[in-house]
Copies of this chain bind each other. A is one copy, B any other.
Amino acid sequence: MHRKMATLLAGALLATGATAHAAGDEEEKAVEYRESVFHVMGHNFKPMGAMMKGEIDFDAEEFATRAERVSQLAHMPMEGFMEGTADVADSEAKPGIWENWEDFQGKMEDLQETSAELAEVAQGGDKGAIAPKFKAVGESCKACHDDYKED
């Protein structure tokens, strides 16, 4: 249901935002929304990284909870990428997103898939089994950031 919903919403938002116009309240709210989602995601992802690197103790229960959150959050930001939101001040999203919408959407779906796999394997609490799945999520993040996020 999640995927279908995201696609529906994205389509609807693209349709309503098809006319070029300056950033208004709607657009600013969309940017604030997506940035909030990514902030919550990053806050949960960071300690998972520290655990995998051995910077802090590996806590299987905490890791699994955070992995589940990242997987849930991966379904939330898309509606914040409505047309016209590239112009909003302080947005870190590159205009290339809307020029390559299907590629961007595909990369978000990659994150949804890799983070779901990580959340599932994290239930087992086996750090060795978790490692490649965690790496895949990191690569999903990076693939999108490299192309579509301002440094």
A residues whose Cβ falls under 8 Å from a Cβ of B: 1-2, 4-5, 8-9, 29, 32-33, 36-37, 39-40, 43-44, 61-62, 64-65, 69, 72, 75-76
Contacts and interface: CB of A to CB of B under 8 A. Distances in A.
A56 to B, nearest CB: 12
Contact of A33 (B43, B64, B72): B43
A132 B59 CA distance: 39
The A interface, classified by DSSP as helix, strand, loop or mixed, is: helix
A61 to B, nearest CB: 6
Contact of A1 (B29, B39, B61): B61
A85 to B, nearest CB: 14
A41 B110 CA distance: 24
Contact of A62 (B9, B36, B44, B69): B9
Contact of A5 (B40, B61, B72): B61
Nearest to A30: B43
A64 B1 contact: yes
A69 B74 CA distance: 11
Contacts of A40: 33, 36-37, 40, 76
A45 to B, nearest CB: 12
B33 A39 contact: yes
